Structures are given as structure tokens and as C-alpha cells.
Amino acid sequence: MKVIWLISIFCLGLSGAAVSSVRTLERTDGTQLTYYFDAPEVAQFPILILLQGSTCRSSFPLYEMVAPTARSQGIATLVIEKRGLTQDSVQCPQEYLLSNTFNDRILDHLTVISELRRAESRWNKKAGWAGGSEGGVIASLTAHLIPETSALLLFSSA
């Protein structure tokens, strides 16, 4: 049952209007960590955490595609932007090329989840992870560190 809601979100994720909830945190090194979060207007919600592969493109289109459908199903969506990228990135920035590592992406997810624990009182403390390619690797390396994890779905990861 837990995996079914993840799969249904991906299958239905092509509908809905654009969503734009951009949030930022400061990393311990002083750089900006950007993430996209959309929560439904329900009393309690689980969070779907989506992880894109290693491509040097913004994760925002993935978030924008899935968040409206997830919201309509009572599920929040979280997508963390890879280091150095923004919604408007057209070229691969130096920060991404020099600093985008597995450890960096894992730490970013741990940081954001910690913030959501503090800030999102309506979160029911259930999280489903879905990642493809390198995003699947990062999801599998991170999900077990998060006690709220209730599902993990990997697409073509190696």
C-alpha cells in the first residue's frame, strides 16, 4: 500500500497547475541550500521526497510536475535543488561541478528534513522517497537515516 501512493503520484504527476514554494536554508559552509516544498491543506500529511539524477539541470520541473497531483491526494512534495543550481540555471555552474557529491546531497536532505520536523506541525512523520539514477542512489543512502521513512522507490539506479 505504501508504494502504491508513490507510484500513483508518478503516474498522475502530469496534471495540475504550476506550484511555486521555494525555500532556502544556509549550509554550514555558508552557501544557500534551496528546496521546493508544497503541502496540502489537510490536518496531517505524509511527505513524498523526490530525487533527480546527476544531470546538471534544475530539479524544479520535477517538483512542478508532481506537486499539484500529490497535493490533491493529501501528500506534501519535497524536492531539494542540487548545489549551485537554480530554477533559472542555463549553464552548469562551477559550484555544482566542484561540490555536488553524494555526501553533499545526503547532508542537504538531512538538513531539510530536520528543518521540516521543526517547522511543519501538520507532517504526520511519514516520508516516502522516490529517486531515479543517481537520485535513487542518494535516496537509498539517505532513507534509512530518517526514522520517518515508510517507503523507498528506486528507478534505474546503479
Which letter, b or e, does each residue of 122-131 get, where b requires 16 or more Cβ atoms within 10 Å of its Cβ? ebbebbbbbb
Q: Which helix (H) or strand (E) holds 152?
A: strand 149-155
pLDDT score of 99: 87
pLDDT score of 155: 85
> Is the pLDDT assigned to residue 18 strictly greater than 80?
no
Rounded percentage of the chain residues whose pLDDT exceeds 70 = 86
Q: 121-147: per-residue pLDDT in tens?
A: 999 999 999 999 999 999 999 999 999
pLDDT band at 107 (very low <50, low <70, confident <90, very high): very high
Q: How far apart are CA 37 and CA 78, in angstroms?
A: 5
> Is the pLDDT assigned to residue 90 strictly greater than 90?
no
Q: What is the CA radius of gyration of the chain?
A: 14
Q: How far apart are CA 55 and CA 121, in angstroms?
A: 33
> Is the pLDDT assigned to residue 2 strictly greater than 80?
no
Are the CB atoms for 73 and 8 separated by under 8 Å?
yes
pLDDT score of 50: 97
Mean pLDDT of 36-65: 95
Mean pLDDT of 57-83: 95
pTM reported for the whole predicted model: 0.88
Who contacts 126 (Cβ-Cβ below 8 Å, separation ≥6)? 46, 47, 148, 150
pLDDT score of 57: 93
pLDDT score of 20: 63
Helix (H, G, I), strand (E, B) or coil at 105: helix
